[in-house]
């Protein structure tokens, strides 16, 4: 396991996170589609890592992929999200993790909007925390 800026023992993560968050973020689980609180959430703001608060995605890059999970066509910044090949469940996928704490976010796929990046960052709601931004704020 690579080392991350924020490094806690599994015991510490267990105490900090809810059981559902722990399952997704630390055990790389997946929430059931269409059940997450951000799947159909369109307020302007920033989505942060639920485990460490690292800013990960902006609401204006979120789109409705119809897949059941919050989807973004790009990360707030390339340094915010770490990618890793994932061969589990007889699939070849690219896992995405918070670059600061190593928390599991979801996967990135190549079927995003063609007029943008062509990427779809498919993220578990349980991995995210939303910070509302007032409309006058600029990036």
Interface segment toward Fe ion; rule CB under 5 A; list 49-57, 81-89, 107-115, 131-139: 49-57
Beta pairing class for 120-123 and 71-72: antiparallel
Q: Are 60 and 40 in contact, with CB atoms under 8 Å apart?
A: no
**DSSP, res 26:** T
Contact region with Fe ion (CB under 5 A), list: 29-37, 44-52, 67-75, 118-126? 44-52
Q: Which of 24, 25, 49, 108 binds Fe ion (CB under 5 A)?
A: 49
Q: How distant, in Å, are the alpha carbons of 45, 59, 114 from that of 27?
A: 27, 26, 32
Task: Give all strands of the β-sheet with 128-132 in edge-to-edge order.
Answer: 55-58, 45-49, 128-132
Between 86 and 105, how does the x/- string for binding to Fe ion read (CB under 5 A)? Answer: ------------x-xx-x--
User: Would residue 122 show up in a list of annotated catalytic residues for this protein?
Assistant: yes
Residue with smaller CB distance to Fe ion, 6 or 94: 6
Q: How many other C-beta atoms can be found within 10 angstroms of the C-beta atom of residue 69?
A: 23
The region of 16-24, 29-37, 50-58, 116-124 touching Fe ion under the rule CB under 5 A is 50-58
Q: Which residues bind Fe ion (CB under 5 A)?
A: 49, 51-52, 54, 98, 100-101, 103
The residues annotated as belonging to the active site are: 122
């Amino acid at each position: 396991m690579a080392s991350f800026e924020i490094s806690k023992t599994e015991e510490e993560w267990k105490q900090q996170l809810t059981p559902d968050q722990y399952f997704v973020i630390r055990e790389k689980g997946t929430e059931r589609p269409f059940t997450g609180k951000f799947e159909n959430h369109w307020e302007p703001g920033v989505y942060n890592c639920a485990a460490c608060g690292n800013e990960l995605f902006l609401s204006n890059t979120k789109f409705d992929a119809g897949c059941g999970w919050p989807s973004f066509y790009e990360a707030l910044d390339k340094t915010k999200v770490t990618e890793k090949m994932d061969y589990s469940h007889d699939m070849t996928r690219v896992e995405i993790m918070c670059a600061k704490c190593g928390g599991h976010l979801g996967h990135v796929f190549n079927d995003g909007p063609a007029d943008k990046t062509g990427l779809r960052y498919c993220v578990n709601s349980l991995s995210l925390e939303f910070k509302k931004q007032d409309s006058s704020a600029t990036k």
